Structure 1
Amino acid sequence: MFSLTPFTLLDYPHKTACIVWFAGCNMRCLYCYNPDIVLGKGKIDFTNVLNFLKTRKGLLDGVVLSGGECTLHQNITDFIKEIKTMGFAVKIDTNGSNPKILNSLIHDRLIDYVALDFKSLPHTFKHLTQSGLFSEFEESLSLLIESNIPFEVRTTFHSSLISEDDFVKMIQYLQTKNFEGNYYVQHFMNNVPTLSELDHSNKEIQHKNFSTPKIKVIFR
């Protein structure tokens, strides 16, 4: 694992939590804020994190597993089992590229909340993520919609990478998949280190209302 954030009130809805950041990712999103995590190596091991969590029993509600891409790590299932035995709720942040593991975690009731990244539609996905993993994302989305696990869909919006027209089509895509709930849109933060050099992103889109009767679009 790359690092540990010992306390957050922002990353797990309605819960106090810590964040475990996993090094490595199978995407190279042009706007990625965490190039040091995506390209880096692990600095702490599972034992260190579990020892930390033992000191937080009764103080934290949950643990967020983020990255990078946490589902890529071969010991992720055993690690989550250890966390659950301590009584913590578990949230994972995922790009949806590993539906097999996601399905296993859902089936074994090891996760309590999921934040799924919706990068873009197929025609821009490969350029934006430098990967060909859209069908895997699509399978992960379907798994979550069919499950009983609370989850959110979220997108990082950069005006040079996703047009407003494409964004509207992304909402329509979610409708065709029968997604209902909160769709969080994080506007790209200008002037931060990213994997690729990007122009400033125009923020006009966040002043418009894109919500539908079943999908609430929330800019944050």
Structure 2
Amino acid sequence: MLDGVVFSGGECTIHSQLIAFVREVKKMGFEVKIDTNGSRPEVIGQLITEDLLDYVALDFKSLPEKYWEVTRSDLFLAFEKTLEIMVSSSVPFEVRTTVHSEQLRTSHLDAMNTWLRGKGYFGSYYLQPFRGDKQTLGNLGESKKPSLKSRVGVWRN
């Protein structure tokens, strides 16, 4: 009845036992998917080296100029390294961005899409609307859907 296990979070790659857990899950014969913000490229790299991943969903928060505003972190370079690892691997993966209309405008999303292509990513780029029903880094309020209505979905590069 169960084909695979998804490790997500928060951020699953920050947990010291993740690789050991993934090894055990693979020994049981299950496929493994990781949902990650890309902040720990060394962990993703090791999982790939050990042939432990079947799929990765990589969250692309923003380009460097807005990364702090969107995430309150300085992890863009780690994300970029993870993307480079994924692009050079044979593991299937997707890139996705959660969009809040007050943080990412259409021009930002266009620039992000162009940047991804420049990095050699030509898969689907998924845009998902922000849901304001959970506490986040601050009170963002509801995202205005009309300004992104034509963009939320999938861009195929």
Common fold: TM-score over 0.5: yes
Which category describes the TM-score, using the shorter chain as reference length? over 0.9
Question: Structure 2 CA distance, aligned partners of 1:119 and 1:84?
Answer: 29
Aligned position for 2:149: 206
1:87-106 C-alpha deviation (Å, 9 max, x unpaired): 00000000000001110000
**SS of alignment partner, residue 95 of structure 2:** strand
| Structure 1 residue 158: Cα displacement | 0.3
Task: Please report how far the alpha carbon of residue 210 of structure 1 lies from its aligned counterpart in structure 2 after TM superposition.
Answer: 8.9
Matched, 1:216 2:136: no
Q: Does 2:37 correspond to 1:99?
A: no
User: How large is the Cα RMSD of the aligned pairs?
Assistant: 1.6
Q: 2:91 aligns with which of 149, 154, 170?
A: 149
Per the alignment, in what secondary structure is the counterpart of residue 149 of structure 2? Answer: helix
- Larger helix share, 1 or 2: 2
Question: Is there any run of 5+ residues in structure 1 with no aligned partner, and where?
Answer: 1-58
Whole-Å separation in 2 of the counterparts to 1:208 and 1:188: 13
Q: Which residue of 1 aligns with 2:134?
A: 193
* Fraction of identical pairs, as percent: 45
- Is 1:161 aligned with 2:119? no
Residue 30 of structure 2 aligns with which residue? 88
- Against the structure 1 CA distance between its residues 120 and 209, is the aligned structure 2 distance closer, same or farther, given a 3 Å change threshold? closer
Structure whose alpha-carbon radius of gyration is higher: 1
Length-normalised TM-score, structure 2: 0.93
| Alpha-carbon distance change, 89 to 140 in structure 1, aligned in 2, over 3 angstroms | same
- Deviation digits for residues 17-40 of structure 1, max 9, x if unmatched? xxxxxxxxxxxxxxxxxxxxxxxx
For residues 61-97 of structure 1, give each alpha carbon's deviation from its aligned partner in whole angstroms, at most 9, with x where no partner exists.
0000000111111111111111001100000000000
**Structure 2 unmatched runs, 5+:** none
Cα drift, residue 181 of structure 1: 1.1
Which amino acid letter does the alignment assign opposite residue 149 of structure 2? Q
- For the Cα contact (< 8 Å) 2:41–2:82, is it kept in 1? yes
Aligned counterpart for 1:131 among listed residues 63, 73, 76: 73
- Runs of 4+ aligned structure 1 residues displaced above 3 Å come to 208-211
Q: Deviations over 1:117-148 (max 9, x none)?
A: 00001011012111111000000001000000
State TM-score, norm by structure 1. Answer: 0.67
Counterpart-to-counterpart distance in 1, 2:19 and 2:144: 40
| 8 A Cα contact 2:128 2:153, kept in partner | no
Q: For 1:16-55, what aligned pairs fall within 5 Å after superposition?
A: none
Task: Give the number of aligned pairs.
Answer: 155
